[in-house]
Amino acid sequence: MEDWAEVQRLHHREGLTKAAIARRLGMSRTTVIRLLASREPPRYVRPPRGSLVDPYADEIAAMLETEPDAPATVICERLRRSGYPGGISILKEHLARVRPGFLAARAFQRTSYLPGEVGQLDWWHSGVMVPVGKGATREAFGLVLTLPHSGAHAAVFTLGRTLADLRVALVGCLERLGGVPEKLVHDNDASIVATGAGKRARLHPEVSALLGQLQTKAVPLPPRTPTSKGQVERTIGYLETSFLPLRSFVSLADLQAQHDDWATEVAFGRTLRRTGARVADRHLVERGFLHRLPEPVPDTDLQLEARAGKDAFVRVLSADYSVPPAFVGRRIGIRVTPDTVRLSCEGHRIAEHRRSFVRADVVLDPAHGRAIRLAREARDRLAEQEPEAPAVDLARYDALFEVPA
């Protein structure tokens, strides 16, 4: 998945030829052609075979941490002292995969950026509690994306920080900013990173697929380095001190609307000291350097599958949603959007509910409720009509087996 995403980015964003991509990524030109021919993210990636380099991956990472440009010959010489039995060719292939992450992380520690070069991404714990119905409230989280060159930002608010929330919020931020930067710098949040951290981070396949469709690249930062994404950290501080005070919100949609209006009227209208220009003016220029969002916009809905229970309900993200009783025990396809939960069976939609954010909630379609009651009544009537089994005289078994009285 990550190879596909990087090949798409290098070809479409940087304009590299197939041969140049093959040299940079250490793969065959045939592989590059195959990955470019696939416009959709791969569904399955064969697990990589073990390599003689694998046991020395941490030692190599430590060397690159100190000197990202260290030559392969020097690294190979150091590894020989530790017992490395492999050749320099497979070592170079390994370095071609991991070295760019070390170089990128160092590059993004500087404080000036070209327009459209980078976006910094982070989740904001807003502390705002919004009602979600039935007397319950949930904290609103904001995914904040800042363009350091112009200082422009976008925020999309959700009621969670899951992978599904990230996908929807990231596309929403890019739509508000008018395009996609070359790279996205982020920390090692569980909604983005599946395993590892920093240079050893492995993204969720769904995140890699989305980044490939957007033709941008993720740059996971080393743990405990908030200054490496200082622009978005300052944006979050600005939101806390300039947007939240003296405001109240009746819903998540109200929070989103108030923020978007405030960002247009206030945040983009201010002049930044470090640039000496209005954010709106710098952003207008930077938009010309951003990559256009693909059309259509990538599908960000969460797709699941579950079996309908005997009570004609399906559990989706801590809430139960009703299905027609005819589908009890069947496998149900689930598509979750920010507002709805759509249920289908064998490709045919069977129900659509408004999404609930109340924990342990029960969402019942009135039509389903009537059908469930009718099914129960029919079952009860059938049970009442079943004839009783005639009594059996057990004495005849005693006689058959000559059991003495």
Q: 337-362, pLDDT tens digit by residue?
A: 988 999 999 999 999 999 999 989 99
Average pLDDT, the chain: 87
Distance from C-alpha of 353 to C-alpha of 365, rounded to nearest angstrom:
8
Q: What's the average model confidence in pLDDT over 274-300?
A: 93
Q: What is the DSSP string of 362-402?
A: EE--HHHHHHHHHHHHHHHHHHHHSPPPPP--THHHHHHTT
Predicted TM-score (pTM) of the model is 0.70
3-state class (DSSP) for residue 142:
strand
How many Cα atoms are found within 13 Å in the side-chain-facing hemisphere of 341?
Answer: 25
Q: 5-61, pLDDT tens digit by residue?
A: 888 888 888 888 888 888 888 888 888 888 888 877 776 545 556 678 888 888 888
Q: What per-residue confidence (pLDDT) applies to 99?
A: 82
Place of tokens 């342990």: 360
Q: 115-134, pLDDT tens digit by residue?
A: 999 999 999 999 999 999 88
| Alpha-carbon distances of 291 from 5, 149, 210, 242, 368, rounded to whole Å | 15, 15, 15, 30, 46
- Write out the two tokens for 23: 């040299």
Q: CB under 8 Å to 279, separation ≥6 — which residues? A: 150, 151, 152, 267, 268, 269, 270, 271, 272
Q: What's the average model confidence in pLDDT over 223-244?
A: 87
- For residue 381, pLDDT over 90 is answered with no
Q: What per-residue confidence (pLDDT) applies to 49?
A: 61
Q: What per-residue confidence (pLDDT) applies to 378?
A: 81
- For residue 395, pLDDT over 70 is answered with no
Q: What per-residue confidence (pLDDT) applies to 155?
A: 98
Q: Which of the residue ranges 94-98, 105-109, 249-253 has the most confident prediction, judged by mean pLDDT?
A: 249-253
Query: DSSP class of residue 241?
Result: I
Q: What per-residue confidence (pLDDT) applies to 10?
A: 87
Q: What per-residue confidence (pLDDT) applies to 360?
A: 92
